[in-house]
């Protein structure tokens, strides 16, 4: 048993619980150590017989009786006794201060933030010993201990790993929402590592994956992605920036924006956390705000100790950075602002979702949705007029947007053909041929044609490019909703007409009937 001197002031350990971490930024401290150990010794590790790459596993175990526990396990190079001491003792920076764990505080700070009892067990490749020490914050504060015990055991020199166990938790990870956020943000933070295939990260046995975005390719074949590289003078040095700026289609308020990386890991960025200064992206309801994105590597820029932000505090550093971004992204901003495009949707997907919605509704029976061959569509000349006053032409309200995007309103329906929708509702059978008109924005918003009135057989034509539906119809999910809404309106109109005794239909009867049907079809 070894003794490890942890002076000067053991009470400092207890103060780390007040650091402004989030669960994902605290967990990232451990992953930083693992990945840096891997990169520092990558060649040695891959020279071993069975090594296939770094694996970092984060395990959160709920235990109502003994208390929840966090465990972080990796198969990186591991720590020798010198590194082991640095990992535990205060004010001991690592040998490599140009890596991800440059401050030498991450493991201690994050472990203390999560819990009052934590341990580290490790052995390095080629070592014949493993070491384990336990830090009990409550005891350190109470007894002012200056040393802790280090357990030393013999192991195979082929072994290499680190296991960190945290108990007596101050911060618990509870609920699907926070777990999803951890998945998303850790995947984003370590996107560069995950892309290599040499690094795998798991959270409760589920492997983290980063979803890539393909830059927009216009009709001429040009891909809207460009590399950028520049420097910003700062005191007596030049701070370097290297990366790319691109345009994404479809846009995403949640995921667009710039991701700022340093030494291969994200500092600023991720879902809802990307860097979007107003000078570069404009207001949040603009197209550039939703479409511009990119990644910038800023390896020599100063960061905060928590590594969740850049330190912009000196000499208007951020203002200089933004000015350069405005200069380099101006052409992309203008293109993103004027670009009008239609999101693609497969007709098969529409059929699948409509079928799922209709067959799962207990108010509807015998629902069948199929794609109908175009040559089988025969419409009669008898037409029921729909009151256009209920859906006025709103083109004047959106003139600025629509003027430059006549080809861009609506969705692009791949394999567009009429649908055959059969269903039974409220004791009546209906046979609809449903047509999505996606070519002419000037067509009527809705046409209803009678094929066989006695058999409730009709053809419905819905203009998906009518300006009133903009911008909602830009999203493919709205197409299914609109089809269900239109079906409800048509059934309400048919029912109201069938109940009219003198041939006159009260507008309120359609409205009331439709309200009832919508409630059933929700």
SS3 label, residue 268: strand
Among 61-75, 147-161, 275-289, 425-439, the range scoring the smallest mean pLDDT is: 425-439
Average pLDDT over residues 155-178: 95
Query: Cα separation of 415 and 396, whole Å?
Result: 32
- Is residue 62 a part of any domain in this protein? yes
Over range 195-210, report the average pLDDT: 97
Statement: residue 478 has pLDDT above 70: yes
* Structural domain contains residue 458: yes
DSSP string, 233-266: EETTEEEEEEEEEEEBSS--TTT-EEEEEETTEE
- Same domain for 243 and 202, yes or no, is no
CB atoms within 10 A of CB 225: 17
Residue 106 is predicted with a pLDDT of 83
* pLDDT at 404 (0 to 100): 31
Looking at the structure of the chain, the number of domains it has is: 3
Q: Which residues contact 119 (CB under 8 A, 6 or more apart)?
A: 132, 133, 134, 135, 164, 165
- Dihedral class, residue 306 (left if φ above 0, else alpha if ψ from -120 to 50, else beta): alpha
Question: Can you give the pTM of this predicted structure?
Answer: 0.68
Per-residue model confidence (pLDDT) at position 468: 78
| Angle, helix 477-499 to helix 347-359, in steps of 10 degrees | 50
What is the mean predicted confidence (pLDDT) over 135-158?
A: 90
Per-residue pLDDT at 379 exceeds 50: no
Indicate if 236 and 383 belong to the same structural domain. no
The total of other beta-carbon atoms located within 10 Å of residue 450's CB is 17
What helix, strand, coil percent values describe the chain, rounded to 5? 35, 30, 35
Same domain, 73 and 52: yes
Confidence (pLDDT) at 97: 74
Q: Is residue 217 part of a domain?
A: no
State which H helix or E strand residue 516 sits in.
Answer: helix 507-521
- Residues 16, 159, single domain; the answer is yes
Strand partners, 169: 115
354 plus 301 within the same structural domain: no
Backbone angles phi, psi at 343, to 5 degrees: -70, 140
Identify whether 213 is part of a domain: no
Residue 369 lies in a domain: yes
The b-or-e profile of 470-501 (16+ CB within 10 A means b, else e) is beebbebebbbebbbbbbbbbbbbbbbeeeee
Q: Say yes or no: 194 and 249 in one domain.
A: no
Percent of the chain with pLDDT over 90: 54
Last residue of a domain, one of 338, 355, 377: 338
pLDDT in tens, 318-337: 999 999 999 999 999 999 99
Residues 417 and 485 in one domain: yes
Residue 6 or 217, more confident: 217
Mean pLDDT of the 205-212 span:
96
CA pseudo-torsion sign 356, 358, 361, 364: negative
Q: Residues 346-361: what's their mean pLDDT?
A: 89
Encoded tokens for 63? 């235990």
In a domain, 218, yes or no: no
Confidence of residue 179 (pLDDT cuts 50, 70, 90): very high
Q: Do 182 and 252 belong together in one domain?
A: no
The boundaries of the domain holding residue 408 are: 344-521
- In a domain? residue 216: no
Share of the chain above pLDDT 70, in %: 88
pLDDT at 399: 31
Is the same domain home to 508 and 480?
yes
Of the three residues 173, 207, 241, the one that is the final residue of a domain is: 207
From first CA to last CA, the distance across the chain in angstroms is 68
- Boundary of a domain, candidates 294, 311, 338: 338
- If you average pLDDT over every residue of the chain, what do you get? 86
CA–CA dist 54, 494 (Å, integer): 65
Give a yes or no: residue 280 inside a domain: yes
Residue corresponding to tokens 């959270």: 203
Q: Residue 96 above 70 pLDDT?
A: yes
Compute the distance between CA of residue 46 and CA of residue 54 in angstroms, rounded to an integer: 10
Whether residue 402 has pLDDT greater than 60: no
One domain for residues 434 and 307: no
Lowest-pLDDT choice from 211-220, 280-289, 338-347: 338-347
pLDDT (tens digit per residue) in 274-295? 999 999 999 998 999 999 999 9
Across the range 381-403, mean pLDDT stands at 36
Lowest-pLDDT range of 22-26, 395-399, 500-504: 395-399
Q: What's the Cα-to-Cα distance from 377 to each of 386, 419, 439, rounded to whole Å?
A: 21, 10, 18
Look at residue 401 in the predicted model and tell me its pLDDT: 32
Helix (H) or strand (E) holding 348: helix 347-359
Question: With helix as H, strand as E and coil as C, how does 124-176 read?
Answer: CCCCCEEEEEEEEHHHHHHHCCCEEEEEEEECCCCCCEEEEEEEEECCCCCCH
| Whether residues 166 and 279 fall in one domain | no
Q: pLDDT category, 509, cuts 50, 70, 90?
A: confident
Tell me what pLDDT residue 6 has.
Answer: 76
Helix (H, G, I), strand (E, B) or coil at 217: strand
Note whether 370 and 493 are same-domain residues. yes
């Amino acid at each position: 048993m070894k003794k490890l001197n942890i002076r000067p002031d053991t009470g400092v350990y207890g103060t780390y619980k007040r650091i402004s971490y989030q669960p994902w930024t605290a967990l990232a401290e451990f992953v930083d150590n693992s990945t840096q150990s891997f990169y520092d010794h990558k060649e040695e590790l891959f020279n071993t017989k069975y090594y296939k790459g770094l694996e970092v596993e984060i395990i959160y175990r709920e235990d109502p009786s003994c208390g929840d526990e966090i465990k972080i396990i990796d198969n990186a190079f591991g720590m020798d006794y010198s590194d082991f001491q640095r990992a535990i003792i205060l004010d001991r920076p690592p040998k490599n201060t140009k890596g991800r764990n440059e401050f030498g505080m991450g493991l201690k700070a994050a472990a203390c933030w999560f819990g009052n009892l934590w341990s580290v067990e490790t052995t390095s490749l080629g070592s014949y010993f493993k070491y384990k020490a336990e830090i009990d914050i409550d005891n350190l504060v109470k007894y002012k201990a200056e040393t802790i015990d280090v357990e030393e055991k013999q192991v195979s020199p082929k072994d290499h790993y680190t296991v960190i166990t945290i108990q007596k938790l101050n911060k618990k990870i509870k609920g699907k929402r926070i777990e999803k956020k951890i998945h998303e943000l850790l995947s984003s933070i370590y996107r560069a590592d995950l892309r290599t295939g040499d690094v795998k990260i798991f959270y409760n046995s589920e492997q983290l994956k980063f979803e890539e975005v393909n830059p927009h390719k216009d009709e001429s074949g040009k891909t809207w992605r460009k590399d950028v590289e520049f420097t910003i003078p700062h005191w007596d040095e030049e701070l370097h920036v290297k990366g790319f700026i691109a345009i994404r289609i479809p846009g995403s308020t949640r995921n667009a924006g710039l991701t700022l990386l340093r030494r291969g890991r994200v500092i600023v960025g991720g879902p809802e956390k990307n860097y979007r200064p107003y000078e570069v992206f404009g207001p949040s309801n603009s197209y550039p705000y939703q479409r511009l994105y990119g990644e910038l590597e800023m390896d020599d820029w100063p960061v905060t100790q928590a590594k969740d932000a850049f330190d912009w505090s000196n000499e208007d550093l951020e203002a200089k950075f933004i000015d350069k971004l405005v200069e380099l992204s101006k052409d992309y901003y203008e293109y993103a602002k004027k670009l009008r495009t239609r999101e693609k949707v497969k007709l098969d997907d529409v059929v699948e979702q409509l079928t799922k919605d209709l067959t799962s509704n207990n108010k509807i029976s015998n629902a069948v949705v199929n794609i109908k061959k175009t040559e089988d569509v025969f419409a009669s000349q008898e037409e029921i007029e729909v009151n256009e006053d209920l859906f006025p032409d709103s083109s004047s309200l959106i003139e600025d947007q629509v003027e430059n995007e006549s080809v861009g309103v609506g969705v692009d329906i791949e394999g567009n053909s009429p649908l055959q929708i059969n269903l039974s509702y409220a004791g009546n059978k209906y046979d609809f041929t449903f047509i999505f008109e996606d070519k002419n924005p000037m067509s009527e918003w809705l046409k209803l044609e009678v094929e066989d009135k006695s058999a409730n057989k009709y053809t419905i034509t819905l203009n998906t490019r009518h300006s009133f539906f903009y911008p909602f119809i830009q999203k493919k999910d709205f197409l299914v909703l609109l089809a269900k809404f239109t079906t409800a309106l048509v059934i309400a109109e048919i029912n109201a007409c069938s109940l009219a005794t003198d041939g006159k239909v009260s507008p309120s009867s359609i409205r009331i009937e439709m309200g009832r049907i919508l409630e059933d079809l929700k």
